[in-house]
Amino acid sequence: MMEFHVSRASRDKYQFDQLLFSQNGNVIFANFQAARQFAAQINAQKKPGDKGFVSPGQINALGLIDEIFHLIVGEYYQEYGKDIREALYTELVAKLGREKVESSIEAFLNEFPPVDVYQGELSLKDYLAGETEGVSHYHLALEELLVLWLTNANPAAEPYSELFDDSKLQKTTAYDQLIDGIKVFFKHQPVFGPENQDLVTMLRTPAIVMPQSLSGQLEYIRQHWAKYLGKFLYRLLGSLDLIKEEERAIFAGPGPTLVPDYASLDLEVERFSPDSDWMPRVVMIAKNTFVWLNQLSKHFQRPIERLDQVPDETLDQLARWGFTGLWLIGLWERSEASRRIKQLCGNPDAVSSAYSLARYQIAERLGGEAAYQNLSQRAGLRGIRLASDMVPNHMGIDSDWVYEHPDWFIGQDYSPFPNYTFNGPDLSQNPDISINIEDHYYSRSDAAVVFKRYDHRNGDTRFIYHGNDGTSMPWNDTAQLNYLNPEVREAVIKTILSVARKFPIIRFDAAMTLTKKHYQRLWFPQPGTGGDIPSRAEHAMTKEEFDRAMPEEFWREVVERVAKEVPDTLLLAEAFWLMEGYFVRTLGMHRVYNSAFMNMLRNEENDKYRQLIKNTLVYDPQILKRYVNFMNNPDEKTAVEQFGKSDKYFGICTVMVTMPGLPMFGHGQIEGYAEKYGMEYYRPYWDEAPDHALIHRHETDVFPLVHHRRIFANVDNFRLYDFYTSSGSVDENVYAYSNSEGSQAALVVYHNRFGSTSGWIKTSLPYLIKSSDGSYLETQELADALHLNAGSNTFVTFRDYIDKLEYIRSVQEIHERGMFFALDAYKHHVFMDFQLVSGNEYAELNAHLNGRGVSNLDVARREIILGPVLQPLGQVINATNLSNLVELAQDRENPASLEGLLHVNLDLIRQAGNAMQYQGLAPDGDMEAASKMMEKCLRQILDLENLEKNIGLSSKKIAPQLSKVLENIDPRAKFVLLIWNFLSNLAGPANNLENAQAARRLLAEEPTSRLVTETLRGLGFGDYEAYKAYQAIQWMLINTNWLTEKELTPSGLLEEWLQDEQFKDYLELNEYNRVFWFNKEKFESMLWYMHIATILRYASDPSISTIELVEAILRAEPIFSVMRKAFAQSEFRLDQLQAALD
């Protein structure tokens, strides 16, 4: 028992319990609770701002040091004989005189009296006349005097000097002379201890070496005096643990990220649990159930409060996005006490914490079991399995188990800290039981480790520990289960089996806390290893004792029982503290949290995370397959807060869904919600709307990859590559890896740094191969990993699922050099659809693209074939050339410039037309006649305002419809007509339908359509406008020769035009309620283009005389007049338009 001197004055002042004192007057700490009680009595008289507040751990340490000093003195006398004690007293009397020695000892004992003397039951004179175990009390008093001096001389004890101040003795007695005499005496006695010192110097050494730290002095004693300690060793270690508990009372944030090396697993048996077929392809999304239902209610504008009310549309969307697992957080019946605590602490509409449970039943508020079964069945029809939480570490403080089985929880019959009070509201729902949490929780001034349970039926009082993982404050609405109790372990396992019969996926919350290593560390620490949870150091157990109480790993029992009784259940562990590999390889969990993914990639600790992957590949790649990778989870900041919404987020999200393992999305991650939803939330508190741009980018960039998870999920063919820059160094910021499933392969490259880089990948890093003959490390070439095993004249085509571009590469180059990439900040690629091709056309395509990606390789091949046509055509159909033509046409004073440009354009079109005929893209035609028609029409378009005059109409009254059309010309319409004119005469004279159809086919080719639309955009057209103008050119090419047809009627003409799909698309025909509707503006535009283009077509035909042209124009007048009137009556309905035309 630990003891030290306490003065009479301090005993009078603080009124310590006399049971704390030994017969000689020294205070005794039989346990840590006694030290806490002693400190509490001192601190109770202190006021805020006062000095001298006492730490139980430091007081306990002082008592232990005092007791160890007595032990060392006793060992000294044991070794050298008790006569030395007698000799010491004799020498002091001889030097100082008996009167001075005895009066000083009497003064000392009066200041620091034995218990009987202090209580008046024995006089000091009678006490001194006695002896203990044959030793005179005068002689014992000298030893106590020496220890008192040692304590006062210890700088680390100075904060507590009020208790043992010796200054009065120094002033009024021969105290100092006695101490000097003792020191001199022992200088001439045998040496002692590991450093062969005199006794007094030996006892002084701990305070000299570690003058400011009592724990440091205890550590010195442990290291140097161990052979003398015996039973004191465990008490010393416990004292150190008590100090560590106090020092950990300030709860810090997360520590540095660490890379696992798996060395500790070498001693463990490999016991992976096999996957069912569906498990590797699980992609999971988490939903805080109450918050989610509230958000669904807002979205669908109706109450959605039960699980069976989750709309089918929502489940359809999740399935369409590729999710196969839905983790519903907070399904179980929760603790009512938890809700009351949250509300009493300031959140009036809070629900209970999802991790403070009353019992494992689906909450009635969510519709109960029937509602759950409804949702489960509907989700299952869509290939979505439901996942649930299990919280095996603890229950709610008012759970059924706390009421019925208080002995199942870690607790004791006294409060571990004297200053705890439990006078707040009774949180119990059971009239026979009271439940009170510690009062300081409500004021947020302390975080107690226990709550109070009182049984009114028998008066039983228990202080039960809150759940706690030692890293933050205790979870004040939970009760910690005692896993040293076999009954508890069996009850929890049966509960897990019951949950497994409902849910095919179970997530075990804080699973690492129940491993033997950490459960002992937290709750029954080995002596010298405590300090993680306040007050648990006094419940220390040796490893042997703990192993007897908990012989098997709890989680191994769970895995084996579930595999036997509820197979096909995926067990997922939330585990940290570098236990990830242990959980899947040794304990047999199917999946385990990989928080390093989120933390290291967010912090751009890329060398660390790549090292983690490398370590895993060389130790056992199967561990990598079993990681759960995530960018946030309910306990962390939201993904948008950690990663933003831009390229970095999508780069890391891409890695998450393409790495082996299980990708897990957080609640609100896809929508871009920034609010972190507490486990007690009933609804979101921020008014956030879904970020539709973010959702759309997920839909275009991420979810297509999710649908290919079969390629990425497994690890057998996973290969990681170093990215070598031109300097020959490895850029650790680049993640490059490949994977394959069957014949399908994928290559992922991501640069997780703000900056640019470039380099090559070629050979994989080592990975472990297991075989019956033993394990060995292997590497693989990139070409082989992608199944590119072909000859020298073979090429490979592939597609980037991020940029939506297609590429071609030489297989020989990949074999010889690998693949080169230039990467900007957070740039990422996912290459798939690898296909081997060969032949000269692909060699030509490879040379033509020179590494460049294109939207469509087939189109790129057509670009090569169409090159002789498109090269001259592109010089004509481009924004600069067309703008110059229009501008020069308006410059009446400089006609020579226009003429020169016209001839250049006509020559280029002739080259393009001849190339079409040479390549068989058009029938042989009279290119000279086509050129003349083109030139004539070109001049008319450039002077469109004077068209009537230029084609020979003497008066506007002859063709009022045409005159009206020409009154209001959109300047950009000229560009559309110019492109139409160049194309309509490209393959030959436009009055030949075959030539027009050849031009239309050329325009339908993607390279030509891109040329036209890009030109229009360069001329100021928006994307939509450019596409509609392109459509107009398409139908104008073959629908402007109708004026020569006999028996022409407006309804018949419209019916003929409607046979053209491009014409219908241009009008934006759509069906609604069995009625076809068209776009008003597009119909008006169509009439304008059709009218003008038809007149231009005939006006430029040299085979039509002026009289025939005028007759044709006059034939067109009533047709367009009827169409415009019918349009005005149609209400934009096709059926009413056709009726009006009839």
In the 3-class helix/strand/coil scheme, how is 286-309 assigned residue by residue? EEEHHHHHHHHHHHHCCCCCCHHH
Kindly state the tokens that stand for 536. 């648990």
* Dist CA 643 CA 1120 (whole Å): 60
969 phi, psi to nearest 5 deg: -95, 125
Question: Per-residue pLDDT tens for 434-450?
Answer: 999 999 888 877 788 99
Last residue of a domain, one of 854, 876, 903: 854
Do residue 986 and residue 1133 come from a single domain? Answer: yes
Do residue 76 and residue 32 come from a single domain? Answer: yes
Do residue 69 and residue 151 come from a single domain? Answer: yes
Q: What is the pLDDT of residue 966?
A: 81
Question: Do 643 and 649 form a contact (C-beta atoms < 8 A)?
Answer: yes
* Dist CA 115 CA 30 (whole Å): 16
SS3 sequence, 36-55? HHHHHHHHCCCCCCCCCCCC
385-390 and 505-508 as β-strands: parallel, antiparallel, unpaired? parallel
Do residue 40 and residue 189 come from a single domain? Answer: yes
**949 vs 400, 553, 954, 966, 1098, CA distance in Å?**
99, 100, 7, 12, 15
Most confident of 203-212, 578-587, 755-764: 755-764
Question: In b/e form, how buried is each residue of 260-281, taking b as 16+ CB within 10 angstroms?
Answer: bebeebeeeeeebbebeeebbb
Residue 562 belongs to some domain of the structure: no
Q: What is the pLDDT of residue 320?
A: 97
**Which of 243, 211, 348, 365 shows the shortest CA–CA distance to 303?**
365
pLDDT band, residue 593 (cuts 50/70/90):
very high
Q: What is the pLDDT of residue 441?
A: 86
Residue 945 belongs to some domain of the structure: yes
Residue 486 belongs to some domain of the structure: no
- The structural domain count of the chain equals 4
**Which of 154, 104, 181, 136 shows the shortest CA–CA distance to 24?**
136
Three-state SS for 390? strand
Residue 265 belongs to some domain of the structure: no
Do residue 70 and residue 11 come from a single domain? Answer: yes
Q: Distance of alpha carbon 30 from its chain centroid, rounded?
A: 49
**74 vs 136, 897, 1110, CA distance in Å?**
15, 120, 135
Residue 1115 belongs to some domain of the structure: yes
Question: Do 156 and 212 form a contact (C-beta atoms < 8 A)?
Answer: yes
Residue with tokens 């039943």: 361
Q: State yes or no: pLDDT of 66 exceeds 90.
A: no
- Average pLDDT over the chain reads 90
394 phi, psi to nearest 5 deg: -155, 170
**DSSP string spanning 401-468?**
HHHH-GGGB-EESS-SSTT----S----SSTTEEEEE-THHHHTS---SEEEEEETTT--EEEEEPB-
Question: Do 60 and 51 form a contact (C-beta atoms < 8 A)?
Answer: no
**What DSSP element (H or E) covers 903?**
helix 895-918
Q: What is the pLDDT of residue 295?
A: 96
Q: What is the pLDDT of residue 3?
A: 46
Name the least confident of 335-349, 669-683, 894-908, 1027-1041: 335-349
Q: Supply the CATH number for residue 789's domain.
A: 2.60.40.1180
Residue 492 belongs to some domain of the structure: no
Contacts 24+ apart (CB under 8 A), 992-996: 992/925, 993/1038, 993/1041, 994/922, 994/923, 995/922, 995/923, 995/925, 995/930, 996/1037, 996/1038, 996/1041
Do residue 757 and residue 901 come from a single domain? Answer: no
Residue with tokens 């790495």: 659
Kindly state the tokens that stand for 774. 């033993």
Beta carbons within 10 angstroms of residue 640's beta carbon:
22
Q: What is the pLDDT of residue 919?
A: 86
* Dist CA 634 CA 327 (whole Å): 11
Beta carbons within 10 angstroms of residue 258's beta carbon:
13
324 phi, psi to nearest 5 deg: -120, 0
* Dist CA 846 CA 635 (whole Å): 50
Q: Which domain holds residue 843?
A: 716-854
SS3 sequence, 1009-1044? HHHHHHHHHHCCCCHHHHHHHHHHHHHHHHCCCHHH
Question: Per-residue pLDDT tens for 714-750?
Answer: 999 999 999 999 999 999 999 999 999 999 999 999 9
Last residue of a domain, one of 823, 854, 885: 854
Do residue 78 and residue 167 come from a single domain? Answer: yes
Question: Do 5 and 66 form a contact (C-beta atoms < 8 A)?
Answer: yes
Q: What is the pLDDT of residue 973?
A: 92
Tell me, yes or no, if the pTM score tops 0.85. no
Q: What is the pLDDT of residue 741?
A: 95
Residue 320 belongs to some domain of the structure: no
**Which of 134, 114, 135 shows the shortest CA–CA distance to 126?**
114
Q: State yes or no: pLDDT of 17 exceeds 70.
A: no
Do residue 831 and residue 873 come from a single domain? Answer: no
Residue with tokens 């939480």: 389
Average pLDDT over residues 407-412: 97
Do residue 900 and residue 845 come from a single domain? Answer: no
Question: Per-residue pLDDT tens for 529-558?
Answer: 777 888 888 899 999 999 999 999 999 999
**What DSSP element (H or E) covers 739?**
strand 734-741
Q: What is the pLDDT of residue 1?
A: 31
Do residue 17 and residue 110 come from a single domain? Answer: yes
Give residue 59's identity as a one-letter amino acid code. Answer: I
Three-state SS for 527? coil
Residue 537 belongs to some domain of the structure: no
Do residue 912 and residue 812 come from a single domain? Answer: no
Give residue 188's identity as a one-letter amino acid code. Answer: H
Q: State yes or no: pLDDT of 1038 exceeds 70.
A: yes
Do residue 850 and residue 970 come from a single domain? Answer: no
* Angle value at C-alpha 86, between 84 and 88, nearest 5 degrees: 70
Last residue of a domain, one of 820, 854, 888: 854
Q: What is the pLDDT of residue 254?
A: 47
